[in-house]
C-alpha cells in the first residue's frame, strides 16, 4: 500500500510477527502476496488482541485490509491447534453478498498458498447449483467456509451437513453491522440456532466493518462474549470515509435532469483524468442500473478506451462472477452497479465513485465511496441527487461532502442532445422496468421526499418522459396494489401476464387504462414481476438459486431482505 491512510510512519514490517504468527502464513503474506508492511488494522489486530483466539469487534476504514486482519488470527489458531477430524469445518465466515464471499475465499487461498499442506476453503452462496456445491462440500475436507447467510442455512437445514460444523472454532461476520441489521437478522439467528452454542463450544467470534452504529443488534452477545476486545482505527469523531477522497454533490432540479447531468459529469471527470479512468456508478435499483448500463453503452460506444460493465442482482450468477473478474482486471472502464458491490468489494484502482440517487443511509454512502482509494490509492466521489432527494445531504451533515466545484449546468444542458436520442433508441422493456423500479423505490421515501402519492406518480411520469417513454409505462395492477398506489391518478394500470412456462419476459399487455384518466397503455414488453427489487439491490443474498430475483415484490413494502435506514428511517 502506498498511501498514508493504509500505512503510516509507525507501520510495522511483517517480520516483526516472526515467532508469533504461523511461519507459513507469514510467508504467504510476505512472499506470496508481496506485502511488506502491516496496515494499521492488521497491526492492531495482530498485536493488540489478547490472543489470536479472542473475541473482537473491529472497525477500520474501507479498503484498509480488514480481510487479512480477520483471516490471519483465525488461520493461525487453526494451524496451531490441529486435531480436527476430516470434513469438520473450523472457520466459518459470513458475508452479505456472493461476490464478497468469493473475494474473501480468494484472499484466503492466497494467504494459505505457501503452506506445506493445502487448506481447503469452500464457498457457499446462492445463484449456483446447490446440489453440486453440497456434493463438493461433503466429499472434500473444507476447513474454512465462506458463505452468504441464505445458502448456509440451506446447508445447515440438513442435520448431517450441519454435523460438519459441530467443532467450529471461529465465526467471523464481515460487514458485521449490516449482517446484524433487520434484513439479515432472521437468517443469522437461524444460523446461530443451528451451530453449536457459543457457551458450550467456546468458538471465537469476530465482527468486522468500516461502519459501526452506536447500538448494534441484540444478537451481538450470541456472537461475541461479554468483555470482548473492541479495536478501532477510526477516530470516533471522524467519519469513516477515507480522508483523501474529495467528495462532491450535484443537486439537479428534477428526475428529468439526472441522466444528462450524469453524462456531463462523467465527461468532465474523464477529461480531467483520461488515463486509467475506472469508475463505478451506483444506482438505486437493479432495473435502474440496467437502464443506465444500456444508455451509457450507447453514449460511450464511440470511446474505445472506455469499456462499460454492469453488476446487479437480476443478472445470472455466472455473468455476475465473470463481470466481477473482468472489472477487477480492467485497467479502465465504467461499471454501473447496484449495492451487490456496495460493500467490501475490492476492484483495484477504481478512480471514481458516482452515486446516482439516494443511498439507503449514510453508512451505505460511506461503503460505496470506499470502493475507491483502496490500498493507499487516490480517488474521487460524486453524488447526484434531485432537489427533493437532497434531504440526504442535510440529514447526513457529518459526511464530508461539498458542492461540485465546477458549474456543469451548461454542459448538462448540451448533453441532452446526446441523451434524448439515446433513450429513444432503447427498448421499451428496459425503460418500463426502470420506471416501475423508480416508482417502487421512491415510494418508500415519500415522507422524506415530501411527496403525496399523487405527487410521486407525477414525478415518476416526468421520469418516464425523460427516459423516452411516450406515455407512462403499464404497471400490473397487483404491483400497483403492493406499492400502495391503488387508485392514484396518473398510473397506467393493466394486467401483465408472465410468459408461458413461467418466464418473466412475455406478457399480454391488456392495459386497463390510466388510473383516473382512462388512457391506453402504450407499450409492450413489461414484465410481470417487476417491482423495485426490495429496497436497494443486493443487500441480502438469500438462499436463492435465482440470482436474487423477486425479493422486493412490488416495491411498495420493504422486501424480505430490504431495510430502511436504521431505525426505520432511510439515510438518517
Ligand X SMILES: Nc1ncnc2c1ncn2[C@@H]1O[C@H](COP(=O)(O)OP(=O)(O)OP(=O)(O)O)[C@@H](O)[C@H]1O
How many angstroms separate the CA atoms of 224 and 227, rounded?
8
Least separation in angstroms between CB 50 and ligand X: 22
Question: Which of 278, 320, 368, 374 is in the footprint of ligand X by CB under 6 A?
Answer: 374
346 binds ligand X (CB under 6 A): yes
Question: Which of 21, 24, 28, 35 is in the footprint of ligand X by CB under 6 A?
Answer: 35
Find all residues with CB under 8 Å of 349, minimum gap 6, and list them: 276, 278, 331, 377
Which range touches ligand X (CB under 6 A), out of 61-69, 244-252, 377-385, 540-548? 61-69
Least separation in angstroms between CB 539 and ligand X: 15
How many angstroms separate the CA atoms of 442 and 77, rounded?
48
**Residue with the three cell numbers 496496515:** 39
Of 348 and 505, CB closest to ligand X: 348
68 binds ligand X (CB under 6 A): yes
Least separation in angstroms between CB 306 and ligand X: 23
How many angstroms separate the CA atoms of 53 and 74, rounded?
7
Strand partners, 511: 494
**Residue with the three cell numbers 498514508:** 4
Strand partners, 356: 384
453 binds ligand X (CB under 6 A): no
Question: Which of 21, 26, 42, 239 is in the footprint of ligand X by CB under 6 A?
Answer: 42
Least separation in angstroms between CB 262 and ligand X: 24
Four-point Cα dihedral 474, 480, 485, 487, nearest 10: 70
Question: Which of 22, 44, 53, 66 is in the footprint of ligand X by CB under 6 A?
Answer: 66
**Residue with the three cell numbers 432540479:** 253
63 binds ligand X (CB under 6 A): yes
Least separation in angstroms between CB 495 and ligand X: 44
Phi and psi at residue 57, to the nearest 5°: -115, 120
Interacting residues with ligand X between 226 and 265 (CB under 6 A): none
311 binds ligand X (CB under 6 A): no
17 binds ligand X (CB under 6 A): no
> Which of left, alpha, beta for 268 (phi over 0: left; psi -120 to 50: alpha)?
alpha
Interacting residues with ligand X between 170 and 189 (CB under 6 A): none
Which range touches ligand X (CB under 6 A), out of 37-45, 125-133, 281-289, 320-328? 37-45
How many angstroms separate the CA atoms of 453 and 403, rounded?
30
By CB neighbour count within 10 A (0-12 exposed, 13-18 middle, 19+ buried), where does 62 fall?
Answer: buried
Phi and psi at residue 170, to the nearest 5°: -140, 135
62 binds ligand X (CB under 6 A): yes
38 binds ligand X (CB under 6 A): yes
Least separation in angstroms between CB 240 and ligand X: 9
Of 39 and 432, CB closest to ligand X: 39
Q: Which three cell numbers stand for residue 562?
A: 430490504
95 binds ligand X (CB under 6 A): no
Which range touches ligand X (CB under 6 A), out of 57-65, 112-120, 349-357, 476-484? 57-65
Q: What is the largest CA-CA distance in the chain?
A: 78
Question: Which of 54, 59, 67, 430 is in the footprint of ligand X by CB under 6 A?
Answer: 67
Question: Which of 39, 355, 436, 521 is in the footprint of ligand X by CB under 6 A?
Answer: 39
Q: Which three cell numbers stand for residue 233?
A: 482505527
Least separation in angstroms between CB 277 and ligand X: 19
Question: Which of 370, 490, 511, 552 is in the footprint of ligand X by CB under 6 A?
Answer: 370
Question: Which of 3, 40, 65, 547 is in the footprint of ligand X by CB under 6 A?
Answer: 65
Of 17 and 480, CB closest to ligand X: 17
538 binds ligand X (CB under 6 A): no
Q: Which three cell numbers stand for residue 27?
A: 510467508
| Strands of 492-495's sheet in order across | 474-476, 492-495, 510-514
Question: Which of 17, 58, 375, 475 is in the footprint of ligand X by CB under 6 A?
Answer: 375
Q: What is the DSSP letter of 571?
A: T
Of 155 and 208, CB closest to ligand X: 208
How many angstroms separate the CA atoms of 280 and 353, rounded?
5
Number of residues that bind ligand X (CB under 6 A): 20
- The continuous run of DSSP H or E covering 514 comes out as strand 510-514
Which range touches ligand X (CB under 6 A), out of 33-41, 82-90, 333-341, 544-552? 33-41
Of 211 and 313, CB closest to ligand X: 211
Least separation in angstroms between CB 516 and ligand X: 47
Of 293 and 374, CB closest to ligand X: 374
368 binds ligand X (CB under 6 A): no
Within 10 A of 513 (CB to CB), how many other CB atoms are there?
15
Q: Where are the alpha helices (DSSP H) in 300-361?
A: 317-329
Full DSSP string of 285-349: SHHHHHHHHHHHHHHTTT-TT--EEEE-TTS-HHHHHHHHHHHHH-SSEEEEE-GGGSSS---TT
Residue 523 CB-half CA count within 13 A: 19
Q: Which three cell numbers stand for residue 56?
A: 473482537
Four-point Cα dihedral 385, 389, 395, 396, nearest 10: -20
Of 64 and 364, CB closest to ligand X: 64
Least separation in angstroms between CB 97 and ligand X: 11
**Residue with the three cell numbers 487448506:** 119
Residues 492/513, Cβ–Cβ less than 8 Å: yes
350 binds ligand X (CB under 6 A): no
Least separation in angstroms between CB 362 and ligand X: 15
Task: Select from 559, 535, 528, 287 the least CA-distant residue to 426.
Answer: 287
Residues at the contact surface with ligand X, assessed by CB under 6 A: 1, 35, 37-39, 42, 60, 62-68, 210, 344, 346, 370, 374-375
Amino acid at each position: 500500500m502506498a498511501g498514508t491512510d493504509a500505512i503510516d510512519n509507525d507501520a510495522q514490517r511483517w517480520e516483526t510477527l516472526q515467532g508469533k504468527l504461523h511461519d507459513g502464513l507469514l510467508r504467504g503474506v510476505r512472499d506470496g502476496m508481496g506485502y511488506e508492511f502491516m496496515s494499521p488494522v492488521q497491526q492492531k489486530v495482530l498485536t493488540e488482541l489478547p490472543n489470536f483466539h479472542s473475541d473482537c469487534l473491529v472497525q477500520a476504514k474501507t479498503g484498509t485490509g480488514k480481510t487479512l486482519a480477520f483471516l490471519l488470527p483465525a488461520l493461525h489458531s487453526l494451524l496451531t491447534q490441529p486435531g480436527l477430524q476430516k470434513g469438520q469445518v473450523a472457520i466459518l465466515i459470513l458475508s452479505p453478498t456472493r461476490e464478497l464471499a468469493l473475494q474473501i475465499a480468494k484472499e484466503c487461498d492466497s494467504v494459505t498458498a505457501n503452506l506445506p499442506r493445502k487448506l481447503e476453503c469452500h464457498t457457499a452462496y446462492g445463484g449456483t447449483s446447490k446440489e453440486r456445491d453440497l456434493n463438493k462440500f461433503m466429499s472434500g475436507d473444507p476447513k474454512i467456509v465462506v458463505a452468504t447467510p441464505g445458502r448456509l442455512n440451506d446447508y445447515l437445514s440438513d442435520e448431517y451437513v450441519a454435523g460438519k460444523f459441530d467443532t467450529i472454532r471461529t465465526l467471523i461476520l464481515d460487514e458485521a453491522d449490516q449482517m446484524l441489521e433487520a434484513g439479515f437478522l432472521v437468517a443469522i439467528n437461524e444460523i446461530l440456532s443451528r451451530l453449536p452454542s457459543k457457551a458450550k463450544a467456546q468458538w471465537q467470534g469476530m465482527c468486522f466493518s468500516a461502519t459501526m452504529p452506536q447500538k448494534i443488534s441484540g444478537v451481538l452477545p450470541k456472537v461475541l462474549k461479554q468483555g470482548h476486545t473492541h479495536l478501532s482505527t477510526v477516530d470516533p469523531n471522524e467519519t469513516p470515509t477515507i480522508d483523501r477522497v474529495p467528495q462532491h454533490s450535484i443537486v439537479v432540479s428534477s428526475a428529468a435532469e439526472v441522466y444528462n447531468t450524469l453524462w456531463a459529469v462523467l465527461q468532465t471527470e474523464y477529461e480531467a483524468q483520461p488515463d486509467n479512468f475506472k469508475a463505478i456508478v451506483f444506482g438505486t435499483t437493479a432495473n435502474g442500473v440496467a437502464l443506465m448500463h444500456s444508455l451509457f453503452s450507447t453514449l460511450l460506444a464511440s470511446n474505445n478506451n472506455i469499456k462499460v460493465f454492469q453488476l446487479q442482482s437480476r443478472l445470472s450468477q455466472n455473468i455476475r462472477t465473470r463481470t466481477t473478474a473482468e472489472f477487477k482486471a480492467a485497467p479502465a472502464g465504467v461499471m454501473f452497479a447496484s449495492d451487490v458491490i456496495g460493500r467490501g468489494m475490492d476492484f483495484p484502482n477504481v478512480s471514481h465513485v458516482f452515486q446516482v440517487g439516494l443511498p439507503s443511509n449514510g453508512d451505505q454512502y460511506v461503503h460505496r465511496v470506499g470502493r475507491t482509494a483502496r490500498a493507499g490509492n487516490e480517488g474521487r466521489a460524486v453524488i447526484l441527487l434531485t432537489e427533493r432527494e437532497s434531504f440526504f445531504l442535510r440529514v447526513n451533515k457529518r459526511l464530508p461532502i461539498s458542492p461540485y466545484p465546477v458549474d456543469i449546468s451548461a454542459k448538462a444542458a448540451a448533453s441532452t442532445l446526446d441523451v434524448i436520442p439515446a433513450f429513444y433508441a432503447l427498448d421499451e422493456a428496459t425503460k418500463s422496468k426502470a420506471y416501475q423500479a423508480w416508482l417502487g423505490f421512491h415510494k418508500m421515501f415519500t415522507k422524506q421526499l415530501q411527496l403525496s402519492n399523487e405527487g410521486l406518480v407525477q414525478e415518476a411520469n416526468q421520469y418516464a418522459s425523460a427516459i423516452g417513454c411516450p406515455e407512462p409505462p403499464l404497471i400490473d395492477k397487483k404491483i400497483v396494489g403492493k406499492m400502495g398506489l391503488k387508485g392514484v391518478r396518473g398510473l397506467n394500470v393493466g394486467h401483465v401476464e408472465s410468459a408461458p412456462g413461467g418466464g418473466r419476459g412475455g406478457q399480454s399487455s391488456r392495459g386497463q387504462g390510466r388510473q383516473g384518466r382512462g388512457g391506453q397503455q402504450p407499450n409492450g414488453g413489461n414484465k410481470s414481476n417487476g417491482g423495485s427489487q426490495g429496497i436497494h439491490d443486493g443487500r441480502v443474498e438469500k438462499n436463492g438459486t435465482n440470482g436474487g430475483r423477486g425479493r422486493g415484490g412490488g416495491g411498495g413494502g420493504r422486501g424480505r431482505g430490504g431495510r430502511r435506514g436504521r431505525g426505520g428511517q432511510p439515510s438518517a
